[in-house]
Amino acid sequence: MSERIPDGPRRHLPGSDRPRTVLLRGGEVHSPADPFATAMVVEGGSVAWVGEEGAADSFADGVDEIIQLDGALVTPAFTDAHVHTTATGLALTGLDLAGATTLSDALARIRAHADARPADKILLGHGWDASAWPEGRPPARAELDAATGGRPLYLTRVDVHSAVVTTALLDLVPGIRERAGFHPDAPLTGDAHHAVRKAAHATITPAQRADAQAAALAHAASLGIGSIHECAGPEISGEDDFTALLALAADNVDGGADSGVNSPRVVGYWAELIASAKDAERIRELGATGAAGDLFADGSLGSHTAHLHAPYADAGHTGAGQLDAAAVAAHVAACTEAGLQAGFHAIGDAALTTVVDGARAAADRVGLARVRAARHRVEHAEMLTDHTIAGFADLALTASVQPAFDAAWGGADGMYAARLGADRARTLNPYAALLKAGVPLALGSDSPVTPLDPWGTVRAAVFHRTRAHGISARAAFTAHTRGGWRAIGRDDAGVLVPGAPADYAVWRTGDLIVQAPDERVERWSTDPRSGTPGLPDLTPGNDLPVCLRTVVGGRTVFRRPIE
């Protein structure tokens, strides 16, 4: 098919109050309204009609623009349900060690970055993962001091739950060596990590922050992402960072065609415990949808800070919980009574037990129906058990999950197996069991922990490293589109049907199929007579779709140049 998607005639008169109308035709439109749809009409910010090519002729003379799709695929825009936008932009525009394959490679990149940024007060970087390096260890402090010429450096591990720093940065944080999580020559965790992060981020100027946010939002739009859920909080980013991001993104939706902002929608979560209606009102004043996101019940497996019931296979401890069930219950009850979403970051099985037990106690206090209606959510939710899956289903907790974690760290030789042993590692990220139990799923990236990559995320959910946990492409795609909207309480969006928001993406791709991880299902379900809208073949090794255009609320926020 051709990538060309030329703009058609524009008949809308300046100053007219009539919403602008666009007809897309000659492609494949992924819609439950018509599994064989080839055309769609958008009026203003909403989908007005979806159907087949013959019926599209009747609209052609009454629209302002006709987009000839030339066989391209139109889908709902993706929602990435867990993003750290400023950190993503800093990784895109600064030092990103995700591609470093050895310790020496990482040190060389750090040295080159320091040489290229002589004016930076503090050097910032992200993405190292020593578990994949042949040396098997992160940079030592003396090595970092040498690579930076003695300048302050803050360098987060890929999971952002620990960091290595230079001596010069430690010297800027009074009392750092007495804080919990400080190690003389090892990555910092806990309070020590939070303190150096605060010092490092304090040096980011408003202009640097705005540039990083704009870069991240533009990159997301170029990937067909129409909405992101920003997971912020006092231990992650400041209030100024959060409110500036929401304002920047709002300019796109509300600011008019000349705002100069090309951005997805941004839904903000602020991770702070609340205990009263007054606390809840402060969360709303920040512009947050909920007191949720990365409200830490524990840390991460990679940094040995996730909270486990049994010790790590490669460390003599179980990590540590950052909240107990009483704190979870108080937070969930206060949020429920205030009509606000609650949510937690929980990865280890002990942390997930704490969250479920606390949420159940809140339901006993304020009523199960009210807790279910609030659609509280849990981020990551990796080490689930039958008990906690049943709790998620009973309490209607949304599992906001990141399939790229399994793609990066799953498998017999992956980081999960090293941390937990092969048997426990095989239990992680059980997406099929969650869906079977009726647990709502919303997919995301946790960028910059793993990259913004929506089709790669869907592929990772289908082709799970533990086959029994894989789900169909249709289920994964729904969780990465409509699932993100449902996670914020919107059931009318994330799908291309009349009346839905006109948030969509146009793709260059190959043949469409109905794909499942079970080959017996895959053979029959490719039959078009199934009446199920097809999706690209995501089998590993195949090229992923290329985004040609992204539209948010009827406004084009990304258009790929004609090649």
User: Which sequence spans correspond to the domains of the chain?
Assistant: 21-77+496-509+545-559, 82-202, 274-488
Residue found by looking up tokens 């009102």 in the block: 281
How much is the pLDDT for 531? 65
Q: How far apart are CA 5 and CA 276, in angstroms?
A: 52
Predicted confidence (pLDDT) at residue 316 exceeds the cutoff of 80: yes
- Do 140 and 162 meet the contact criterion of CB atoms below 8 Å apart? no
Which residue, 52, 27, 59, is CA-closest to 37?
A: 52
Burial pattern 288-323, b for ≥16 Cβ within 10 A else e, equals bbbbbbbbbbbbbbbbbbbbbeeebeeeeebbbbbb
pLDDT at 544: 97
Q: Which of 184, 176, 130, 136 is nearest to 157 (CA)?
A: 130
At 3, the pLDDT band (50, 70, 90 cuts) reads very low
Contact of 549 with 5, CB cutoff 8 Å: yes
Does 5 have pLDDT greater than 70? Answer: no
- pLDDT band at residue 6 using 50, 70 and 90 as cut-offs: very low
- How confident is the model over 190-195, as a mean pLDDT? 90
pLDDT digits (tens, 9 = 90+) for 496-527: 999 999 999 999 999 999 887 765 444 334 44
Secondary structure (DSSP) of 308-373: -SS--TTSSS----SS-HHHHHHHHHHHHHHT-EEEEEE-SHHHHHHHHHHHHHHHHHH-HHHHHH
What CATH number has the domain spanning 82-202? 3.10.310.70
Angle CA(146)–CA(151)–CA(157) in degrees, nearest 5?
80
Euclidean distance between the first and final Cα of the chain, in Å? 13
Over residues 251-268, the mean pLDDT reads: 69
Contacts 24+ apart (CB under 8 A), 8-13: 8/63, 8/65, 8/66, 8/67, 8/68, 9/64, 9/65, 9/66, 10/64, 10/65, 11/63, 11/64, 12/64
Question: In whole angstroms, what is the distance from residue 180 CA to residue 501 CA?
Answer: 47
One CATH from 3.40.50.970, 2.30.40.10, 2.40.128.720, 2.40.50.100 for 21-77+496-509+545-559: 2.30.40.10
φ/ψ of 104, rounded to 5, equals -65, -35
* pLDDT beyond 50 at 255: no
Q: Give the pLDDT band of residue 198 (cuts 50, 70, 90).
A: confident
pLDDT of residue 256 exceeding 80: no
Please give the pLDDT value at position 158.
86
**Which amino acid would we find at residue 125?**
G
Reported as a single tens digit per residue, the pLDDT across 260-273 is 558 999 999 999 99
What average pLDDT does range 94-106 have in this prediction? 91
**pLDDT range class, residue 307, cuts 50, 70, 90:** very high
pLDDT on residue 524: 37
pLDDT digits (tens, 9 = 90+) for 23-61: 999 999 999 989 999 999 999 999 999 999 989 999 999
What are the beta bridge partners of residue 377? 343, 398
- The sign one gets for the Cα dihedral 537, 541, 546, 550 is positive
**pTM score of the predicted model:** 0.89
The pLDDT of residue 521: 43
* pLDDT at residue 78, as a whole number: 98
Q: Is the pLDDT of residue 11 over 60?
A: no
Smallest CA-to-CA distance from 131 within 345, 532, 419, 539 is with 419
Query: What is the C-alpha separation between 240 and 470, in angstroms, rounded?
Result: 40
Exposure class string for 160-195: b at 16+ Cβ within 10 A, else e? bbbbbbbebbbebbeebeebebbeeeebbbbebbbb
Residue 4 confidence class, pLDDT cut points 50, 70, 90: very low
Residue with tokens 């819609």: 31
Q: What value does the CA radius of gyration of the chain take, rounded to a whole number of Å?
A: 24
Q: Are 437 and 393 in contact (CB under 8 A)?
A: yes
Percent of the chain with pLDDT over 70: 92
| pLDDT tier at 294, thresholds 50, 70, 90 | very high
Would you say domain 274-488 falls under CATH 3.20.20.140? Answer: yes
10 Å CB burial of residue 336 (0-12, 13-18, 19+) is buried
- Average pLDDT score over residue span 77-100: 92
User: Which segment of 198-207, 216-225, 355-364, 459-468 scores lowest on mean pLDDT?
Assistant: 198-207
Mean pLDDT score, 72-97: 94
158: left (phi over 0), alpha (psi -120 to 50) or beta: alpha
Question: What mean pLDDT value characterizes the chain?
Answer: 91
Residue 545 predicted with pLDDT over 70: yes
Q: Which band of pLDDT confidence, cut at 50, 70 and 90, is reported for residue 2? A: very low
DSSP 8-class letter at 188 = B
Instruction: Supply the pLDDT for residue 200.
Output: 87
Same fold, 21-77+496-509+545-559 and 274-488: no
Burial 377-415 (b: 16+ CB within 10 A, else e): bbbbbbbbbeebbebbbbbbbbbbbbbbbbbbbbbeebb
